[in-house]
Structure 1
Amino acid sequence: MCSGQGEPRPSLREAIGERVRALALEAGARPSDHGFCRMFPNLTGEAHLLPLGPRTLKDLSRLAAAMAEPEAQSQPPRLRSDGDADLPAAYTYLVEFVRNDLVWERRAPDESWAPDQTGAPAFAPLGSLAGLLNRRSGCLELDSVYDAPRDPAVVRRMLVGTTAPKRKGSPFARAPRVGDGNDLPRHPRSIDPARDRTARMGDTRNDANLILGQLHVAFLKAHNALIASGLSFEAARRALRQRYQWMVLFDLLPKLCAPDALEEVMAEGPRLWHVDRPAALAMPVEFSAAAFVLAPSMARATYDYNANFRQMDRGTLATRAVLGAGGRGPDALEETHIIQWDAFLPLRAEAPQRARRLDTLLAGAGETVEALATHHLLRGVRLGLPTGQAVARHMGLRPLRDDTLLAALPDHQRVAALPFCEATPLWFYILAEAGNPEGPAGRHLGPVGSRIVAEALWNLVRHSDASILAPGMIPDLQHFSLCDLVLLAAEQDAA
């Protein structure tokens, strides 16, 4: 942990940005807009894209339906079953947290389905990414954590919400060794569903489900633990950002990427996507809309959330389902719904539940999976993402195609994938490459996905404020993992 001595003064960029941000937020503005870019700008011609037309859209819909994992006998989440990875389940939600922290898209109303002169829906790639804006800085700077209110009693601290007491007669108990401050700060009850007990934060996506929300709470509490060690707000923010960057580069990436690709990027830097200066940094759509859309594949259908709620369907852990709609339910998350992190991370002798393998199978209800997969597949078309084969050839790799692509897929997906044997949507290709039994077999990403993810996150860390990759930077830590974050946050419960 940082000591209070020699606290770094905020950089000029941080000082000016903090003042402008405070004034803008007081005036009701949202965070400043940044842009998107293409990692492979030379792969935008028709030869590198999916063919357009109603036939392709119908084929994509069939492919999306085939991505639903066939129903199997439900097993307790802590018991290893077919399709489980070795990765602890919490990393599914760290991936989702990082993606939400990097990308918050703002765009004009989608006109892609406006009827053409024949009355058929028109769906074509965006001619330019100029109208697509990112409300995040696009760097690993914990925008999602610090775009939130501070504790009015101690303004150096981030505001953490207080859980509600359990209802009278409830058979459930609070988890041991946890305090009342374990919820996101919330707005009061309201007749407006958009504000009724919603989290007090700029972007409420991290309040979509309990696991992701509790991870966000852990970041808030970790900041406050750094404050308790004697740091100023600026020093604690800097320290937490650097720990976050370390966690992403040295804890998360080794679990997602092929070792050879990651080692090369970390030793030599990116060779496909070069960013010379922070002003030129933008979010590559190949990363944000394809290569890093991994949480849907990693998510389990059921979870042991804590000792009270075991083998829960993922949908029942939606925050709105737990709080209740229409003003019903508690004012905040009940104390019985505080997460037990040892069920998701190796914090005790008992093995935690695991994430699912990286492949083209998505666990969950069929209709929900189909809708989610359709969204991501059509989004790739809308953004004009190159096919997986085009990217592989650009990298000098032999792409999966025809029989080699089909052999990488489960039997029931092969018919739906036939129209895409030569030109495969990039998101689906990256998942197929990861799940290839002759390759990573779901343990990590394949060569295309590994290179995109490693190079993108290296660049995004390198151009962050107080970057641990900056020349001459000597971080005040030698190790920091997701377990360390949870343990640091737990110091607030002990206090």
Structure 2
Amino acid sequence: MTATASERRTVRDHCLAPGRLVDAPSAGARYGRLFPGLDPLAADPDALYAAGTPGGICDASHFPTRGMLSGHSADDANEAAGWPFFGQFVAHDITADRSPVGVRADVVALRNARSPRLNLEMVHAEGPVGTPFLYDAQDTAKLLTSADGFDLPRNWQGTALIGDPRNDVHTFVAHLHLAFLHAHNRLVDRLREDGVGEDDLFDEARRSLTWHYQWIVVHDFLPRLVGPELVREILDDGARYFSPGVGEAYIPLEFADAAYRYGHGQIRHRYRMQPDGTFYPLFPDLFGHGPIPPEHRLDWAQVFDLPGEPPAQRAKRLDGGLPASLIALPREVTGDVPVDAYRSLAVRDLLRGQATALPAGEAVAELLGEKPLSREEAGPEWGGATPLWLYVLKEAQHRARGDRLGPVGGRIVAEVLIGLLRADADAYLTVDPDWRPTLPSAGPDFTLVDLLMLGRAPGA
């Protein structure tokens, strides 16, 4: 895939178009800066394009040690393959920037289509009164699923009836959303058995599911992603850089447009959905936005480590490379694009950091008191000024063996997610920091696997 000179000029013009930039979120804005004193990186858009398109440094399939197509390969990470998809599920809960790709962003005008709260807004939406089409008309405290329970509820055209259409973009995030629908409904049953009144049933089930989900983010997801020591430090001693007051949360651009896009580097090209089943490319084979066929029904033991089951497929090791499925996204995912390079998710990630005027990764590392990556580690093509998104991936490779985020990416992600919870008046960390999960667990603590088992489809 080769860009014409006109396309390259379009990329450059979009990246360099004027736009007002701000140092902190203004009234009504939902995005802002975590490190307002750092100068933006002015990378050559042609270099960003070259890095992200097929054959570039971000193309994992171009390198012999990357892009293995089996479920178990030399670039396996420690964690199971499902974790980056849960990270995507969390991202959809807190941020949705619908501005065009590559256009220089007016940060004042940027609006977040999600509330910056880990509150499962995408699952419950506005509740059975505000969004009744998401709920069971025969039992309005419960959310709808398909008739057999193995798919999301859909209209006659196959469009999912859910609070965020992005949760149907591929079968993994669709299955996660479905698991949360089932978990909510099982909580309704449990609360009913405990004698909770019908008027309070939905609200109690929503709060219980939300708090268990928040617990998972803090005590299961984050320790795997950034290390338990950093999570404990932020919980015990507070954040250094992101601590909005209650009701004052916003999404830092360094998080949304760089550090939290780490998961793109953990995606494999192909996955097995069922034991001894076929390996399917993520795109186009596992593309969503339509009914899930039986052969694509996901056995959770294939992507998460379940008690008594063989080890799951692993996430791809973080090394700055993305699989073929993400370097050449199908039209069904991107829609019509003005520049062919926009079909690469790596190009989109690199251009987005440029469009929102993010600083170089090395500059952030120095501000945080961390030793920056060497030019050889980050990539000599950047001359010591690496786009923050790519820096986070390369830092994970060289500072954490590709298994989790390094000190820069880890601190940004952990401080923001914990900070969003502390800024939410309804989150368990604010209402009752000593709260502990009440649902049963298979181990010493409640985990995502426990919630997935609670949220299995009936008969699965």
What's the TM-score once normalised by structure 1's chain length? 0.74
Shift of 1:34: 5.7
Match of 1:339 among 291, 298, 306: 298
Q: Distance in 2 between matches of 1:38 and 1:75?
A: 37
2:357 is aligned with 1:434: no
Alignment match, 2:458: 493
Alignment match, 2:82: 90
Alignment match, 2:333: none
Match of 1:481 among 441, 447, 451: 447
Alignment match, 1:237: 206
Give the partner amino acid of 1:41: P
Alignment match, 1:374: 347
Q: Distance in 2 between matches of 1:264 and 1:90?
A: 26
Match of 2:161 among 178, 200, 215: 200
Q: Percent identity?
A: 32
Q: What stretches of structure 2 of length at least 5 have no aligned partner?
A: 1-27, 126-130, 330-340, 439-444
Q: Distance in 2 between matches of 1:367 and 1:233?
A: 42
2:375 is aligned with 1:405: yes
Over residues 287-330 of structure 1, what are the superposed CA-to-partner deviations in whole Å (9 max), with x where a residue is unaligned?
1111111221111111111248421111111125xx4xxxxxxx
Q: Distance in 2 between matches of 1:308 and 1:360?
A: 30
2:397 is aligned with 1:467: no
Match of 1:156 among 141, 163, 166: 141
Over residues 220-248 of structure 1, what are the superposed CA-to-partner deviations in whole Å (9 max), with x where a residue is unaligned?
11000100102510000000100110011
Q: Distance in 2 between matches of 1:157 and 1:355?
A: 33
**CA spacing shift, 1:487–1:111, aligned 2, 3 Å:** closer
Query: Where do 1:45-444 residues align within 5 Å?
Result: 48-51=39-42, 56-64=44-52, 65-70=56-61, 77-79=70-72, 81-107=73-99, 112=103, 125-126=104-105, 128-147=106-125, 149-162=134-147, 180-189=148-157, 197-229=158-190, 230=192, 232-278=201-247, 280-307=248-275, 309-315=277-283, 316-320=285-289, 323=290, 332-347=291-306, 348-365=308-325, 367-368=327-328, 371-400=344-373, 404-406=374-376, 408=377, 417-436=379-398, 439-444=399-404
**CA spacing shift, 1:58–1:249, aligned 2, 3 Å:** same
Give the partner amino acid of 1:396: G
Q: Distance in 2 between matches of 1:466 and 1:246?
A: 13
Q: Is the 8 A contact 1:34 1:135 kept in 2?
A: no
**CA spacing shift, 1:476–1:450, aligned 2, 3 Å:** closer
User: Which stretch of structure 1 is more off in the superposition, 83-92 or 390-399?
Assistant: 390-399
Q: Is the 8 A contact 1:380 1:427 kept in 2?
A: yes
2:63 is aligned with 1:39: no
Q: Is the 8 A contact 2:214 2:428 kept in 1?
A: yes
Q: Is the 8 A contact 2:102 2:352 kept in 1?
A: no
Shift of 1:49: 2.0
**CA spacing shift, 1:111–1:418, aligned 2, 3 Å:** closer
What is the SS of the residue equivalent to 1:40?
A: coil
Q: Distance in 1 between matches of 2:327 and 2:304?
A: 30
What RMSD over aligned residues (CA atoms) do the two structures have, in Å? 2.3
Shift of 1:76: 7.1
Q: Is the 8 A contact 2:69 2:269 kept in 1?
A: no
What is the SS of the residue equivalent to 1:267?
A: helix
Q: Distance in 2 between matches of 1:258 and 1:473?
A: 21
User: Which stretch of structure 1 is more off in the superposition, 180-189 or 247-256?
Assistant: 180-189
Q: Is the 8 A contact 1:78 1:351 kept in 2?
A: no
Q: Distance in 1 between matches of 2:166 and 2:371?
A: 38
Q: Distance in 2 between matches of 1:92 and 1:110?
A: 22
What is the SS of the residue equivalent to 1:157?
A: strand
Give the partner amino acid of 2:113: R
Shift of 1:251: 0.4
Give the partner amino acid of 1:434: A
Alignment match, 1:12: none
Give the partner amino acid of 2:122: S
**CA spacing shift, 1:482–1:471, aligned 2, 3 Å:** closer
Q: Is the 8 A contact 1:300 1:355 kept in 2?
A: yes
Rg bigger for which structure? 1
Shift of 1:201: 2.2
Q: Is the 8 A contact 1:84 1:354 kept in 2?
A: yes
Give the partner amino acid of 2:299: Q
Query: Where do 1:11-30 residues align within 5 Å?
Result: none
What is the SS of the residue equivalent to 2:77?
A: strand
Q: Distance in 2 between matches of 1:88 and 1:69?
A: 19
**CA spacing shift, 1:444–1:476, aligned 2, 3 Å:** closer
Shift of 1:475: 2.4
Q: Distance in 2 between matches of 1:87 and 1:111?
A: 32
Q: Distance in 2 between matches of 1:110 and 1:288?
A: 14
**CA spacing shift, 1:131–1:487, aligned 2, 3 Å:** same
Q: What stretches of structure 1 of length at least 5 have no aligned partner?
A: 1-32, 113-124, 163-179, 190-196, 324-331, 410-416
**CA spacing shift, 1:91–1:182, aligned 2, 3 Å:** same
**CA spacing shift, 1:273–1:367, aligned 2, 3 Å:** closer
Q: Distance in 2 between matches of 1:77 and 1:306?
A: 14
Q: Is the 8 A contact 1:89 1:354 kept in 2?
A: yes
User: Which stretch of structure 1 is more off in the superposition, 143-152 or 361-370?
Assistant: 361-370
**CA spacing shift, 1:219–1:34, aligned 2, 3 Å:** farther
Q: Is the 8 A contact 1:141 1:465 kept in 2?
A: no
Give the partner amino acid of 2:400: P
Alignment match, 1:11: none
Shift of 1:111: 8.7
Corresponding pairs, count: 392
Q: Is the 8 A contact 2:245 2:423 kept in 1?
A: no
Shift of 1:367: 4.5
